[in-house]
């Protein structure tokens, strides 16, 4: 179905042993959306994301991905997911190319990676401007460069929806701007983007919707309201107005 | 040396198979921060050996059965109660070794047979045992090759692999079973107390030398097999215990490789400072 939401949460609540984190949350993410989900530390942003991609099951309510239950592996194959960066160890003995190839692991069950898949991985790296780093060890790269490699890994299976969990935390300003440019191009190519963050940062000029999570409840707010409530920095880039 | 090769070729082949297979699995275990799982499964395998000797069935088969069940149990415990994982694992490990000691002493196998499995008995490897070890070692390497895509993705980032549709939970069970089989196979060569060293240390050596994951796995296997052979020759020449000598060779190579890595890092830093 053409207008089917990519993500749909229907009255989702989620509780850990320590208490309730999400309370009756409903939302829809549509094709080509560019959404930032804002919230303070511990507000449940990452939990919401994990429920949306089927890593956690809601305590009550339903989480749907591409019209299927989010826990359905077939639905998840259309999602590119970039978790918080800390998961990549600096001692990981893996090249940039291998990290990107890992994004294609589920496309076939058995064996190694084919030459065609290596070409696809190189193209994904080219898309984020990291093709010259393919043979480098991932741990040798800066935070911003690693983040771009992780986006390439999410892109290598041609997802329709790209989800990023705090992608610019600890990343320098220049890398944030480069990162925002990559996401802008992807969104222009029709990839829906959902970013979880503390503030809008360098992606502010491109964002179309802002969702704010507070005490387990979610509200859709304007960009202006987002700036006031979160106190983030926003700098307009040449040729890009702030979307409303 | 020729006489040694002629007399002990089954031992040399068995040692190289274990030396190659253990680090192939170890590469994934180390990256998943499960380096000491081999040690834990070794404790459980020992209980299997003791029960096998007591029931007069094949100790290797019994050890394999116990190791596989134990490894699956450990994996479940880790996932179900991560906050209490340490205590649960300790109960598993020490309970197993206690069972081994009690069963072996009650059946009169404590000093004679059990010691062989504790510290290895590679020089007595028979043709039948060599065939079993070679078959299990080949099976381990074949399964790793078959499941390489998913294992690599899970080792790099379990969460992202799950979202991408990789059956991470199933692969975890396979990885634990492969680890358990490797411990069971390695028990014959270096003993349960030292088999974990062959799972982990060659991976540390390879990680110091090469960049890629695949390269690390292949180098670790080559280092493991080579060290096992060198260790056996050294033990023959120096008249020392084979299992301990093999592991000491691996330890020495680890120290050398770490020295090489540190020197290389220092040189790169000095070059970049001179450039600035």
pLDDT mean over A191-218: 86
B54 touches chain A (CB under 8 A): no
Among the partner-chain residues A93, A105, A113, the one whose CB lies closest to the CB of B212 is A93
Who wins on pLDDT, A44 or B219? B219
Token pair in block for residue B184: 């069971």
pLDDT by residue (tens digit) across A123-182? 999 988 899 999 999 988 888 888 889 889 988 988 899 998 888 776 777 777 877 888
Interface of A with B (CB under 8 A): 53-55, 73-74, 76-77, 79, 81-83, 87-89, 91-95, 98-99, 101-106, 108-113, 135-137, 150, 153-154, 157
Q: CA-CA distances (angstroms) from residue B261 to A239, B199, B216?
A: 48, 21, 14
Nearest CA in chain B to A86: B157
Quickly count: other Cβ atoms within 10 Å of residue A29's Cβ: 22
Q: If you count residue pairs, one on A and one on B, with CB atoms under 8 Å apart, how many are there?
A: 103
Q: Are A7 and A13 in contact (CB under 8 A)?
A: no
pLDDT mean over A107-134: 90
Q: Are strands A192-197 and A34-38 parallel, antiparallel or unpaired?
A: parallel
C-alpha to C-alpha distance for B17 and B20, rounded to whole angstroms:
5
Token pair in block for residue B126: 């028979």
The 3-state DSSP class for residue A217 equals strand
Residue A34's pLDDT band (cuts 50, 70, 90):
very high
Q: What is the DSSP track for A4-42? A: --SEEEEEEEEEETTEEEEEEEEEEE-TT-EEEEE--TT
Query: Chain B partners of A85 at a C-beta cutoff of 8 Å?
Result: none
pLDDT score recorded for residue A239: 36
pLDDT over 80 (residue A221): yes
Alpha helices (H) along A30-129 = 45-52, 73-76, 96-101, 115-127
B272 touches chain A (CB under 8 A): no
pLDDT mean over A43-61: 89
Query: Chain A partners of B153 at a C-beta cutoff of 8 Å?
Result: 102-103, 105-106
With tokens 């062959």, the residue in question is B198
The 3-state DSSP class for residue B35 equals coil
Alpha-carbon distance B261 to nearest alpha carbon in chain A (angstroms): 12
B83 touches chain A (CB under 8 A): no
Alpha-carbon distance A167 to nearest alpha carbon in chain B (angstroms): 14
pLDDT by residue (tens digit) across B16-72? 999 999 999 999 998 887 877 788 888 888 889 889 888 888 888 898 898 888 888
Alpha-carbon distance B211 to nearest alpha carbon in chain A (angstroms): 6
Among the partner-chain residues A87, A105, A135, the one whose CB lies closest to the CB of B153 is A105
B157 touches chain A (CB under 8 A): yes
With tokens 């270096």, the residue in question is B190
Alpha-carbon distance B164 to nearest alpha carbon in chain A (angstroms): 5
Q: What is the DSSP track for B87-152? A: HHHHHHHHHHHHHHHHHHHHTT-TTTHHHHHHH--GGG--HHHHHHHHHHHHHHHHHHHHTHHHHH
Mutate to test the interface with B, among A52, A77, A93, A101 (most CBs of B within 10 A): A93
Q: Are strands A7-16 and A60-65 parallel, antiparallel or unpaired?
A: antiparallel
Closest listed residue to residue B82, CA positions, set B153, B158, B149, B151:
B158
For B117-144, b/e burial (b = at least 16 CB within 10 A) is: bbbbbbbebeeebbebbbebbeebbebb
pLDDT by residue (tens digit) across B90-119? 888 888 889 988 988 887 766 666 777 888
pLDDT score recorded for residue B21: 93
B26 touches chain A (CB under 8 A): no
Residue A12's pLDDT band (cuts 50, 70, 90):
very high
Asked whether the ipTM of the predicted complex exceeds the cut of 0.95, the reply is no
Residues 6+ apart with CB under 8 A from A140: none
Q: Are B213 and A99 in contact (CB under 8 A)?
A: no
Burial of B108 (0-12, 13-18, 19+ CB in 10 A): exposed
Closest listed residue to residue B29, CA positions, set B250, B183, B146:
B183
In whole angstroms, what separates CA B181 from the centre of its chain?
9
pLDDT over 80 (residue B244): yes
Among the partner-chain residues A76, A81, A98, the one whose CB lies closest to the CB of B152 is A98
Nearest CA in chain B to A97: B212
Residue A87's pLDDT band (cuts 50, 70, 90):
low
Residue A59's pLDDT band (cuts 50, 70, 90):
very high
Among the partner-chain residues A87, A109, A157, the one whose CB lies closest to the CB of B159 is A87
Q: Do B148 and A111 touch (CB under 8 A)?
A: yes
Q: Do B207 and A95 touch (CB under 8 A)?
A: no
């Amino acid at each position: 179905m053409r207008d089917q939401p990519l993500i749909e949460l229907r009255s989702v609540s989620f509780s850990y042993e320590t208490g309730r984190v999400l309370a009756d949350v409903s939302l829809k993410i549509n094709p080509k959306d560019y959404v930032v989900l804002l919230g303070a530390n511990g507000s449940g942003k990452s939990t919401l994301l994990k429920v949306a991609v089927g890593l956690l099951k809601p305590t009550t309510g339903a989480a749907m991905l591409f019209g299927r239950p989010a826990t359905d592996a077939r639905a998840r194959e259309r999602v590119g997911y970039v978790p918080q960066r800390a998961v990549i160890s600096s001692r990981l003995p893996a090249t940039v190319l291998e990290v990107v190839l890992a994004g294609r692991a589920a496309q076939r069950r058995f064996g190694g990676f084919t030459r065609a898949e290596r070409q696809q991985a190189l193209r994904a790296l080219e898309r984020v401007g990291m093709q010259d780093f393919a043979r480098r060890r991932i741990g040798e790269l800066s935070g911003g460069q690693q983040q771009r490699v992780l986006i390439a890994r999410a892109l290598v299976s041609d997802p329709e929806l790209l989800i990023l969990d705090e992608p610019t935390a600890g990343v320098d300003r220049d890398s944030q701007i480069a990162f925002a440019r990559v996401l802008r191009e992807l969104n222009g190519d029709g990839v829906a983007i959902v970013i979880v963050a503390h503030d809008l940062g360098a992606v502010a000029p491109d964002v179309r919707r802002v969702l704010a999570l507070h005490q387990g409840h979610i509200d859709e707010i304007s960009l202006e309201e987002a700036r006031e409530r979160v106190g983030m920095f926003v700098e307009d880039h040449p040729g890009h107005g702030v979307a409303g | 040396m020729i006489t040694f090769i002629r007399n002990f070729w089954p031992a040399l082949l068995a040692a190289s198979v274990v030396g190659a297979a253990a680090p192939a699995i170890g590469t994934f275990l180390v990256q998943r921060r499960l380096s000491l799982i081999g040690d834990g499964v070794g404790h459980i395998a020992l209980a299997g050996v003791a029960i096998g000797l007591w029931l007069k069935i094949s100790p290797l088969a019994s050890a394999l059965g116990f190791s596989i069940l134990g490894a699956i149990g450990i994996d479940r415990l880790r996932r179900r109660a991560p906050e209490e994982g340490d205590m649960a694992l300790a109960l598993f490990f020490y309970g197993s070794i206690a069972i081994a000691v009690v069963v072996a002493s009650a059946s009169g196998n404590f000093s004679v047979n059990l010691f062989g499995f504790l510290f290895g008995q590679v020089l007595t490897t028979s043709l039948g045992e060599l065939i079993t070890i070679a078959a299990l070692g080949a099976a381990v390497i074949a399964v790793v090759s078959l499941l390489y895509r998913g294992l690599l993705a899970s080792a790099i980032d379990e969460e992202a692999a799950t979202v991408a549709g990789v059956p991470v939970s199933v692969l975890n069970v396979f990885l634990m079973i492969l680890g358990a089989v490797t411990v069971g196979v390695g028990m014959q060569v270096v003993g349960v107390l030292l088999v974990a060293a062959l799972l982990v240390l060659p991976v540390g050596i390879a990680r110091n030398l090469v960049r890629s994951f695949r390269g690390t796995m292949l180098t670790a296997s080559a280092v493991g097999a080579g060290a096992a052979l060198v260790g056996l020759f050294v033990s023959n020449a120096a008249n020392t215990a084979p299992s301990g000598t093999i592991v000491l060779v691996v330890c020495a190579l680890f120290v050398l490789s770490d020295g090489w890595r540190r020197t290389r890092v220092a040189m790169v830093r000095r070059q970049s400072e001179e450039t600035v």
